[in-house]
Amino acid sequence: MAEPERRRRRPAVNCLRSKEAICAYENFSSQSLRPWAAEGSTIALAPARKSEESQTAMSSGQASSASSRSVGSTYQPASSRASLTGKLTPTQQGSAWDVEAMQEKIRELEKQLSELAHNRSPPVEFPAKPRGSNIETFSSTLSGNVHVLHETSFPSISRSVTQKTRLFGQSHWVNGATSGDIFGILETLDSRNREGMLHASSNVVKCKTLARIIKSQRAPSWPTTSCTSLPSKEVTDKLLDCYLRTTERVYRVLHIPTLKKDYDALWVAGSEPDPGFLIQLKLVLAIGAATHDEKFSLRNSAIHWVYEGNAWLSDLDLKQKLLNIQSLQTNILFLLAREATGISEESIWIHAGTLVRTAMHMGLHRDPALLPTRSNFASEMRRRIWNTILEIALQSSIMSGGPPLLSLGDFDTKPPGNIDDDQLTVDDPTPKPETDYTDISVALALRKMFPVRLAITKFLNDLGSNGTYEETLRLDEEFRTSFKVLGRTLQGSGSCMRTAVPRFELRVVELIMYRYLIALHLPFFSLSLRRTSYAFSRKVAVETSLKIWCAAFPSSSVMANQPASETRSLDQDDVTRLTICGSGLFRIITTQASFVVAAELRTQLQEEGGLGPVPLRADLLAIMEEAPSRALQTIEVGETNIKGYLIMALIATQIKGLIRSAEKEELAGMLVNTLEEAGATCLSILETKAAEATVNNGFDQLPSGTPPQRMEDWDFMVSDTQFDFVNLMEPSNWMFSAEST
């Protein structure tokens, strides 16, 4: 009897994916399967059994090259294993034939698909909205391509600004620059005097090159070696005092009596400091260095200390061990030190989110009364640290233009008690009345305003915000009501205490609050310059800008009936030093204020139709006259980014040209000359800074053995390599760092 025809047994397979022309089949591993099919693998095959299936694959436009790559990476044909086994078995020969036949079929399909794709029209896209319908693009030699996304319902309102891979939300300062027509000025310069612009920008290019050199000389080698050396005790004492009288009064991080006790122990002969505390102290010194003097003479040392802190926090072996209160304190100090020294402060919003989640992982978002019993000291410190983390998260959101990603329902931790630090070590201390000034009064004042400030930030930066003017007015009223109560509490507490609330703390609270108020009205400010129905926002923005300028620079001629030069000697206070020497909040808010003032003056000059000279407000003109010199001061004290000064110089020149009714061509020439002169001024300063850094690398306060490493570019991204930090040296990036003046 004839033997029946033998058939190969094929395992049943199930299609796992049928949305595409290429299906993925589950591979049931068994001894009957081909030896080159790895156990548990998936097989991607192009359906080629029937011609109808081939036509379906081609008509759907799916490239079979993906199938080819999948097969090539999933299987190892038996023919390729000959060198290992020496001889192919009959089963392997059959397997090799099958693979070769399948690959030949794939190549045939690829050829047909290629011919079909060559003759067909491009696919039709159906976007939700016509592309570019509400996007305005500016382009110039200096700013590069800048895209401004406008509100659909309010075409004149800037919703966000994009540049390369970064998006800046509505509360970011650059949106205020759009209302001030900064990009329009640069674009006009290019269109009317491009040759002059190219010539004038040569100094800008040289400044950027010098900035790279200076930054590379400041940056220590990585990984930065931590050491126990500190400056002399005299210098260290001063830096510690600078920190305690400024930053720690606003952002409560450390228990001051404990800090002083551990600090005194450092200077005892033979003592070995705790490495964790030493890192905290160096970050404290870095923050204090910003207000140590008006020249930021210890900037290089401060940068080194921040790098040491980053190296400590980046130690993988310690990450699991450092999930404690000391680690949270160090992380907070690290972010504050980065802002004070201007090290990638634009990315603080990113790391503030990590800080919030770390604190939540440790349970700080739950009130200690709801958790296992802790001492009063531990409970109050947890409340204080969580309070500071909330403040950092919110302020970084308003500065970066990113959504806060936080709501009042995400935590139930109560505000800290109104208790002095000395009381925390006492069992069951009694909180003082809120009218009594304590070590935590300012932090509590900020916490009371947290809900309305969070609402404003969400209104500006959340993706689903409708941005109506009615909501703007409602939030304005709520903010003002809370701010009045806050003012009465802080200013009234002085009459009840021997010592009034320090002026520094009052001014800082003012600047923080004004940041939210001006951000709330800026979206409608540009609209208010043309439509009287939004005149309230125009008034609020201008008056708030004046208050900001006076709070940051009390010696300004705006505050006194005498020239600014006669009052400059009085301008040696901590708020002004933080504005000039530091980075972040204080510098950004004064820049925003100057943009608003410039836009107001330009509008007044353009809307007046009289025959005589336009009467302008003297206080606004005083700010415009001072703004360029204030911006130049930041470069003189060590800032390498010159764009803030260039912008303010161009704005001031434009205002002067409008006052004298200069023609457009004449005004364009004035602006080009200003750019050339401002670039030459910055170049002279940076050349001096680079020469000083070459002679002395700036580590005179640091131990030997830690020389700086020259780098082609200087970005603080050692522990953040997954993020593309702002490279200030690229021509099209000069406009966008927080270091804006």
Reading the block at residue 132, the tokens are 């570019």
Q: How confident is the model at residue 204 (pLDDT cuts 50, 70, 90)?
A: confident
Span 389-416, pLDDT tens digits? 999 999 999 998 889 999 999 999 999 9
Q: How confident is the model at residue 199 (pLDDT cuts 50, 70, 90)?
A: confident
Q: What mean pLDDT comes out for the span 217-225?
A: 77
Q: What percent of the chain has pLDDT over 70?
A: 64
Span 339-349, pLDDT tens digits? 999 888 778 99
Instruction: Determine the Cα angle at 524 with ends 175 and 390, to 5°.
Output: 60
Q: E-strand spans in 499-573?
A: none
Lowest-pLDDT range, 63-77, 131-145, 329-343? 63-77
682 in Cβ contact with 203 (< 8 Å): yes
124 in Cβ contact with 135 (< 8 Å): no
Lowest-pLDDT range, 42-56, 189-203, 466-480? 42-56
Give the per-residue pLDDT at 553. 93
In angstroms, the CA 439 to CA 201 distance is 50
Give the per-residue pLDDT at 325. 92
**Mean pLDDT over the full length of the chain:** 75
Pick the residue with more confidence: 515 or 103? 515
Give the per-residue pLDDT at 738. 38
Give the per-residue pLDDT at 527. 82
Pick the residue with more confidence: 708 or 156? 156
Give the per-residue pLDDT at 117. 45
Nearest CA-CA partner of 386 in 245, 251, 584? 251
Give the per-residue pLDDT at 154. 62
736 in Cβ contact with 168 (< 8 Å): yes
Span 411-460, pLDDT tens digits? 999 999 999 999 998 888 889 988 888 999 999 999 999 999 999 999 99
* Nearest-10 crossing angle of helices 376-400, 441-448: 50
Lowest-pLDDT range, 218-222, 490-494, 668-672? 490-494
**Torsion sign over Cα 265, 271, 274, 278:** positive
Lowest-pLDDT range, 228-232, 386-390, 491-495? 491-495
Give the per-residue pLDDT at 710. 29
80 half-sphere exposure, CB direction, 13 A CA radius = 8
Q: How confident is the model at residue 252 (pLDDT cuts 50, 70, 90)?
A: very high
DSSP 364-394: TTS-GGGSS---HHHHHHHHHHHHHHHHHHH
Between the CA of residue 78 and those of 23, 28, 72, 95, 696, what are the distances in Å? 23, 19, 12, 7, 67
Neighbours of 489 (CB within 10 A): 17
Query: Does 547 score more than 90 pLDDT?
Result: yes
For the stretch 80-117, what's the b/e string if a residue is b when 16 or more beta carbons lie within 10 angstroms of its beta carbon? ebeeeeeeeeeebeebbeebeebeeebeebbeebeeee
In angstroms, the CA 282 to CA 266 distance is 13
Question: What residues form DSSP beta bridges with 137?
Answer: 147
In angstroms, the CA 72 to CA 506 distance is 69
Give the per-residue pLDDT at 270. 81
Between the CA of residue 498 and those of 244, 341, 437, 477, what are the distances in Å? 20, 35, 9, 34
Query: Does 130 score more than 90 pLDDT?
Result: no
What is residue 132's DSSP assignment? T
In angstroms, the CA 339 to CA 327 distance is 19
455 in Cβ contact with 403 (< 8 Å): no
Lowest-pLDDT range, 96-100, 673-677, 709-713? 709-713
Give the per-residue pLDDT at 98. 62
26 in Cβ contact with 32 (< 8 Å): no
For the stretch 177-211, what's the b/e string if a residue is b when 16 or more beta carbons lie within 10 angstroms of its beta carbon? bbbbbbbebbbbbbebbeebbeebbebbebbbebb
Residue 133 makes CB contacts below 8 A (sequence gap 6+) with: none
Q: What mean pLDDT comes out for the span 54-68?
A: 41
207 in Cβ contact with 687 (< 8 Å): no
Reading the block at residue 157, the tokens are 């309102």
Give the per-residue pLDDT at 280. 96
Q: What mean pLDDT comes out for the span 349-359?
A: 94
Q: How confident is the model at residue 695 (pLDDT cuts 50, 70, 90)?
A: low
Nearest CA-CA partner of 399 in 540, 623, 146, 587? 587
In angstroms, the CA 566 to CA 549 distance is 18
Nearest CA-CA partner of 651 in 27, 182, 16? 182
pTM: 0.74
What is residue 425's DSSP assignment? G
SS3 144: strand
Span 715-735, pLDDT tens digits? 222 222 222 223 322 333 333
Chain centroid to Cα 534, Å, comes to: 30
Query: Does 596 score more than 70 pLDDT?
Result: yes
Give the per-residue pLDDT at 466. 72
Q: How confident is the model at residue 181 (pLDDT cuts 50, 70, 90)?
A: low
218 in Cβ contact with 693 (< 8 Å): yes
Q: What mean pLDDT comes out for the span 704-724?
A: 28
Query: Does 329 score more than 90 pLDDT?
Result: yes
Query: Does 360 score more than 90 pLDDT?
Result: yes
Query: Does 379 score more than 60 pLDDT?
Result: yes
**What separation, in Å, do the N-terminal and C-terminal C-alpha atoms of the chain show?**
99
Q: How confident is the model at residue 316 (pLDDT cuts 50, 70, 90)?
A: low
Lowest-pLDDT range, 214-228, 543-557, 577-591? 214-228
Nearest CA-CA partner of 420 in 434, 410, 432? 432
Nearest CA-CA partner of 679 in 10, 14, 294, 206? 206
SS3 6: coil
Burial of 656 (0-12, 13-18, 19+ CB in 10 A): middle
Q: What mean pLDDT comes out for the span 107-119?
A: 59
Give the per-residue pLDDT at 705. 32
Pick the residue with more confidence: 481 or 31? 481
Reading the block at residue 496, the tokens are 């009840």
Question: What residues form DSSP beta bridges with 148?
Answer: 136, 161
Pick the residue with more confidence: 72 or 465? 465
Pick the residue with more confidence: 153 or 590? 590
Span 272-290, pLDDT tens digits? 888 889 999 999 999 999 9
Question: CA gyration radius for the chain?
Answer: 32
Query: Does 208 score more than 70 pLDDT?
Result: yes
In angstroms, the CA 91 to CA 8 distance is 11
Give the per-residue pLDDT at 97. 55
Pick the residue with more confidence: 79 or 294? 294
Q: How confident is the model at residue 151 (pLDDT cuts 50, 70, 90)?
A: low
